[in-house]
Structures are given as C-alpha cells and as structure tokens.
Structure 1
Amino acid sequence: MLLTKFTHACVRLEKDGSVLVIDPGSFSEAAEALSGAHGILITHEHVDHVDAAAISTALQASGELQLYAPAGVARTLREENAEAAARIHEALPGESFELAGFAIRAFGGQHALINPQIPVVANVGYLVDENVFHPGDSLIVPAGVQVRNLLVPIHAPWSKTSEVVDFVCSVRAPKAYQIHDALLSELGLQFIELQIGNLSAPYGVEFRHLTVRESVEL
C-alpha cells in the first residue's frame, strides 16, 4: 500500500489500482488528492477535514466513487449531492466494511474536547487493511488490534504534546507519521516532532516526518 501525505490531515492510499482518500479538507490539496479516487473516508464535520465543494465535484465526476462519514456529515453531503446519495454512507464506530477494495474498521465516536463551551461532534477513526490508522481529531487508542502504521495528529486546539506522546506510546505502532500539522510554524513542527520521536522510541515506535506530497510504502 502506498500512502501519500497531503497538507494537514489528508492522506491518499493506493493499492492494486484502487485509491482511497481520508479527510480531504479545506486546508489540504483536496481536488488533487481526490483525482481518480474510488473511496473517501471522512472522520468528522470540521472544514479542515471535509472540503464539501471538492468532494461534490469528485462525486459528480465518478459514478463509482463511494464515501463513508459520520451520520451528520453523510446527511449534509447527501442533501448537497442528491444524485449521489446512494453512494454516501454512514460510518459507525465498531463496524467493519469494505471500501474500494480496502478493509475498514471504524473506532471512536466523538471528537476530542476543544472547550466546554464548544459542542462535541462525532468523530470516527479508521483502521485500513489492519495496517494504517487515521484517528481524525481524537486520541482514541483502537482496542484489540495491532496498528502497524499510525497517523499522529501532532497539533490542535484540543490537544497538548504530552497527550499526543501518550497516544503514540499507547498505540505502539512500529511506524508513525505526522498529520494535523498545518497550524504549526516550521520551528514548532520540528520541536514537537523531536519530542514525539524521542519519547516514543523506547516503546518501539519509529516516528518519521513526511513532507507534503511525499509517499511511503506501508
């Protein structure tokens, strides 16, 4: 499986001619990531994870493209894309399904708390092919599985570095890569990644930085 990192939380997975895109949001190169896609996974409703216009264009361009998202996101996208409504599905934590030739398991349920004054929204993390885990905006540790490649949301208004380190050490995936990094300066990114890498290494984790559009075989 080939993983390509786009800006912020968006990644593109390719396997055997099939393309799966996770969280093509407004901070990312969503249209580029979605080119030729067969499946889309959305973790939650925030615009940095779902670019509705780019997704609508992709759904219109391909009659085969399927999408899974939490109920609220799926409902909104169906309303905006009536002709593609049958291809937009609800993703529920605890469920497993196949999408574009990839085996998907859904985890979590809710977004991490930003502030008590801000309502908590649904968030679903996805384990793809028992291989790579994208948690969305949550530090939920997927129970009962051995993640091989972990995508780490390294910075957000809802997190602090110690929590991120604990998450990486708890999952204990052999390989980890950064996502959710668009709000950091270059210096801040380097500092946080150094902390995560150094503190998780004793737990058997190899943390690696991916530049925008860089690809890695998983």
Structure 2
Amino acid sequence: MKISKYIHSCLVFELDGFKLLVDPGNFTFAEGLVKPEIFKDVNAIFISHIHPDHLDMPNLKEIVKLSNAPVYTNSQVGEALTKEDITFNLTEEGIFNVGPFKLEAIPVVHEPLLDSPIPQMTGLIINDKVLHPVDSLDTTLAKYQGIDLLLLVTMAPFANELKIAGFADQIKPKQILPLHDGFAKPFFVKSRFANYKKHFEKSGIKFHGIFEVGESISI
C-alpha cells in the first residue's frame, strides 16, 4: 500500500492500481501547489468531517467532475454534499469494501475547539494496518495498540505536542505518518518533526517526517 501526502490532511492511498483520496481540504489547495487535476484518476473519495481543512467544496466538486469517483462520508457531510448536488455513500460505522481496500469506519470525537461546535467525524481502519483517527486524540483508541501505522495530527489549535505525543505513546504503532501541518512554514514543520522523531525513536517507533507535495511512504 502506497500512501501519498498532499499537504495537511489530504492523502491518496494506492493499492493494485486503485486510488482512494481522503480529505482534500482547503489548506491543500490554498497556495496553488495542488490543483484538482492531480486527482482526476482517483477511484474513490472519503471525507471524514465537515471542517474546511478536510472538505473544500469547490475543489471537491471539480475532482468529482473530473474523476467520476464515488464519495463516502457521514450524515453531516452528506447533507452539505446534497446541497451541492453531489451524491454520496453513507459511511459512518462498520466494515465496507472499496476496491482492494477494506475500510472500517469508526465514529471518533473531534478535539474541543474554541467557540466552535464539534462536528460529526468518522475515522478509518484501513486494511487492518492503518489507524486514521483524524482530529481525535481520544485515549479509547488505545484499543488499536500496536497497529502498523498511525496517521497522527502533529500540529493543531486544539492540542500541544505533549498531548499529541502522549496519545501516540498509548497507541504504540510501529510507524507514524504526520498530518495536520499545512498551516506552518516549512522550517517550523521540519523542526517539530525532528523533535517528534527523536521522541518516538526512544520507543522504537518509526516517524516518517514527510510534508512535501506528493511525498509518499509504502507499507
């Protein structure tokens, strides 16, 4: 499985020629480094929640138009999509198959935000190997302890590095792919990733400090 990162929380999972696009949000497209055309060959799209850094409606509409890919998401996002005449597959909880991917949808709680309502949010377990808790640092997710790869928020207005690292320490994944860094300048991202890498190395956890557009790992 190849996982490519396209700024912040936008990912493409690729297996056997099938591409699953996850959370193409507004930070991904903000500076023009990524355009909808990059995703014209995706086979399916998953949206975790309604926040604009995970759901950029104008660009999602263009991606759907270019790719004709089905969209999988929860009820709250689905309501917003319906208003834009985008059809969707309701995916809130349980196991479903998309191409070669076995996806287990799990309800997860977004971390508290300043003067902002908590959205409905759906995380994923992908092929029993990848835990994507999205913007949740809920300690109940420790039941997935030892998973191959954790997709980890690394910078956010709702958490500091101590809380983030503590969450990952409980999960004890074999590897970590950092997310949620699209609002920071490269020199700052590099310095924070170096700090995370040093911390997780003590526990034998491999931290993949990638942030360049389209940079990828394989598991």
Task: Mark the CA change 1:145 to 1:163 in structure 2 (over 3 Å): closer, same or farther.
Answer: closer
Q: Deviations over 1:19-52 (max 9, x none)?
A: 0011111111361452211111111111111121
**3-state secondary structure, aligned to 2:158:** coil
| Structure 2 counterpart of 1:45, from 50, 56, 68 | 50
Gaps in structure 2 of 5+ consecutive residues: 29-33
Corresponding residue for 1:109? 108
Deviation at 1:67, TM superposition (A): 1.4
Task: Mark the CA change 1:172 to 1:180 in structure 2 (over 3 Å): closer, same or farther.
Answer: same
Amino acid at match of 1:98: N
Q: Deviations over 1:53-93 (max 9, x none)?
A: 22222323344x22111211112112212xx52xx122224
CA distance in 2, matches of 1:102, 1:69: 15
**3-state secondary structure, aligned to 2:217:** strand
Corresponding residue for 1:157? 157
CA distance in 2, matches of 1:20, 1:189: 26
Corresponding residue for 2:189? 189
**3-state secondary structure, aligned to 1:53:** helix
**Mapping 1:143-182, distance limit 5 Å:** 143-144=143-144, 146-182=146-182
Amino acid at match of 1:113: P
Percent same amino acid among aligned pairs? 23
CA distance in 2, matches of 1:15, 1:104: 13
CA distance in 1, matches of 2:102, 2:35: 23
CA distance in 1, matches of 2:46, 2:9: 12
Amino acid at match of 2:70: Q
CA distance in 2, matches of 1:184, 1:22: 21
**Mapping 1:67-146, distance limit 5 Å:** 67-81=71-85, 84-85=86-87, 88-93=88-93, 95-115=94-114, 117-140=115-138, 141=141, 143-144=143-144, 146=146
Deviation at 1:120, TM superposition (A): 0.9
RMSD: 1.9
CA distance in 2, matches of 1:14, 1:200: 26
| Structure 2 counterpart of 1:36, from 38, 41, 46 | 41
Task: Mark the CA change 1:53 to 1:100 in structure 2 (over 3 Å): closer, same or farther.
Answer: farther
Corresponding residue for 1:11? 11
Gaps in structure 1 of 5+ consecutive residues: none
Corresponding residue for 2:218? 217
CA distance in 2, matches of 1:214, 1:98: 26
Corresponding residue for 2:31? none
Q: Deviations over 1:148-174 (max 9, x none)?
A: 112211001111111110122112111
> Structure 1 segments of 4 or more deviating over 3 A?
none
Deviation at 1:142, TM superposition (A): 5.7
- Contact 1:12-1:33 within 8 A present in 2 as well: no
Deviation at 1:97, TM superposition (A): 0.9
Deviation at 1:96, TM superposition (A): 1.2
CA distance in 1, matches of 2:65, 2:37: 15
- Contact 1:107-1:126 within 8 A present in 2 as well: yes
| Structure 1 counterpart of 2:62, from 57, 65, 73 | 57
CA distance in 1, matches of 2:95, 2:156: 28
Aligned residues: 211
